[in-house]
Structure 1
Amino acid sequence: MYAVVKTGGKQYKVRAGETIKVEQIPAPVGSEVTLSPLLAVGEGKSIYFGTVPHAQIRATVVAQGRHPKIKIFKLRRRKHYQKRAGHRQNYTELRIDTIYNEMASTVE
């Protein structure tokens, strides 16, 4: 069984047992997090699209971290303008434990 979940403004296709990196969630390492709403739930060739009522994903926080630095360089030619900057985005690494759909069943 797989599901599509929206968190942090992005959509992720997940299965039970996978690990994913999402936008930072304020939760300590080792705690359990519930993700909802699910945008799609499917198994094999059958899939249910749309916001799935009574469905949720239970995940465990594995780590909190920061992505590698992205270098930003701005230049205006012939104007003697140069600007350098950098950015590191925070992330939360989650291990998907279960995809729970009250209408169908629980998959671990």
Structure 2
Amino acid sequence: MYAVIKTGGKQYRVQEGDVLRVEKLDAETGKEIKFDDVLMVGEGDSIKAGADAAKASVTGVVTESGRGQKIVVFKKRRRKNYRLTQGHRQSFTSVRIEKIKE
């Protein structure tokens, strides 16, 4: 069975046992978290979407919180003596999906 959940402005297709990195959530490592914003639930030919899937929920356990690799943002305008370097590290939360409830 799989489900499509929405968190952090993105959509993820998950199954039981999957580990996924989502935008930072306010939860400590080892805590259980519940995703109520389920867009679709399905297995084989039986698929529920819309109002039927809104009743479903997905639970997971937070395995890790941290920050990703640093990316470098470099801007330059030629012949104008303009150079700008910025860096960014995105915070993430790693979640292991435990149960999908219809």
TM bucket normalised to smaller: over 0.9
TM-score if structure 1 supplies the norm length? Answer: 0.90
> Are residues 1:56 and 2:62 paired?
no
Q: Which structure 2 residues correspond to residues 2-81 of structure 1 after superposition, within 5 A? A: 2-51=2-51, 52-81=53-82
Q: List per-residue Cα deviations over 1:21-80 (Å, max 9, x = no partner).
A: 000001010000000110000001221222523211010000001110111000011100
Letter in 2 for 1:22: V
Structure 1 vs Structure 2 CA RMSD: 0.9
Letter in 1 for 2:49: F
User: Counterpart of 1:40 in 2: which secondary structure?
Assistant: strand
- Flag as ranges the 4+ runs of structure 1 deviating above 2 A: none
Aligned residues: 101
Q: Unmatched 5+ residue regions in structure 1? A: 102-108
Report the identity percentage. 47
Q: Unmatched 5+ residue regions in structure 2? A: none
TM-score if structure 2 supplies the norm length? Answer: 0.95
